[in-house]
Amino acid sequence: MARDVNDEHVISSRDELVGWFEAGCKPNGPFRIGTEHEKIPFFRIDDRPVPYGGRGDCACGIGSLLNALRAAQGWEPIEDEGVLIGLYDPVGGGAISLEPGGQFELSGAPFGNTHETAAELDAHFAALAPAAQSCGIGFLDLGMSPMWRRAETPVMPKQRYGIMARYMPKVGSLGLDMMFRTSTVQTNIDFASEADMVEKMRLGLSLQPLITALFANSPFTDGKPNGFLSMRSLIWTDTDAARTGMLPFAFQPGMGFEAYVDYALDVPLYFVKRGDVYHDVAGASFRDLLAGKLAALPGERATMSDWANHLSTIFPEVRLKRYIEMRGADVGPKSHILALTAFCAGLFYDAQVSAAAWDLVKHWNDEDRAALRSSVPREGLAAKAAGVSLLDLARKILPMIREGLERRSRLDASGRSEAIYLAPLEEIAASGENLASSRLALYHGAWSGDIKRAFVDCVY
Q: Does 130 reside within a domain?
A: yes
Confidence class of residue 7 from pLDDT cuts 50, 70 and 90? Answer: confident
Q: Does 3 reside within a domain?
A: no
How many residues are given for the chain?
Answer: 460
Cα 263–Cα 265–Cα 266 angle in degrees, nearest 5: 70
User: Helix, strand, coil: what percent of the chain each, to 5?
Assistant: 45, 20, 35
CA distance 75 to 70: 6
Per-residue pLDDT, 446: 98
Q: How far is CA 196 from CA 56, 78, 203, 304, in A?
A: 54, 34, 11, 24
3-state secondary structure 244-305: EECCHHHHCCCCCHHHHHHHHHCCCCCEEEECCEEEECCCCCHHHHHCCCCCCCCCCCCEHH
Q: 70-94 pLDDT, tens per residue?
A: 999 999 999 999 999 999 999 999 9
Which residues have a Cβ under 8 Å from the Cβ of 340 and sit 6 or more positions away? 35, 185, 186, 187, 211, 215, 326, 329
Q: Does 9 reside within a domain?
A: no
Whether the CB-CB separation of 241 and 386 falls below 8 Å is answered with: no
Confidence class of residue 240 from pLDDT cuts 50, 70 and 90? Answer: very high
Q: Does 176 reside within a domain?
A: yes
| pLDDT of 2 above 60 | no
Please report which residue ranges of 390-449 form alpha helices under DSSP H: 390-408, 423-431, 435-444
Domain count, the chain: 1
Per-residue pLDDT, 428: 98
CATH of residue 65:
3.30.590.20
CA distance 176 to 179: 5
Per-residue pLDDT, 56: 87
Measured over the CA atoms of residue 273, residue 2, residue 39 and residue 154, the dihedral's sign is negative
Q: 147-184 pLDDT, tens per residue?
A: 999 999 999 999 999 999 999 999 999 999 999 999 99
Q: Does 101 reside within a domain?
A: yes
- Expressed as residue numbers, the domain containing 69 is 14-458
Q: What is the mean pLDDT of residues 336-346?
A: 98
Q: Does 8 reside within a domain?
A: no
Q: What is the mean pLDDT of residues 52-77?
A: 94
Per-residue pLDDT, 5: 63
Angular region, 244: left φ>0, alpha ψ -120 to 50, beta rest: beta
Which of 398, 323, 283 is CA-nearest to residue 34? Answer: 323
Per-residue pLDDT, 175: 98
Q: Does 5 reside within a domain?
A: no
Q: What is the mean pLDDT of residues 400-419?
A: 98
Confidence class of residue 4 from pLDDT cuts 50, 70 and 90? Answer: low
Distance of CA 277 to the CA centre of its chain: 26
Whether the CB-CB separation of 318 and 205 falls below 8 Å is answered with: yes
Q: 265-319 pLDDT, tens per residue?
A: 999 999 999 999 999 999 999 999 999 999 999 999 999 999 999 999 999 999 9
| pLDDT of 1 above 60 | no
Q: 104-144 pLDDT, tens per residue?
A: 999 999 999 999 999 999 999 999 999 999 999 999 999 99
Q: Does 1 reside within a domain?
A: no
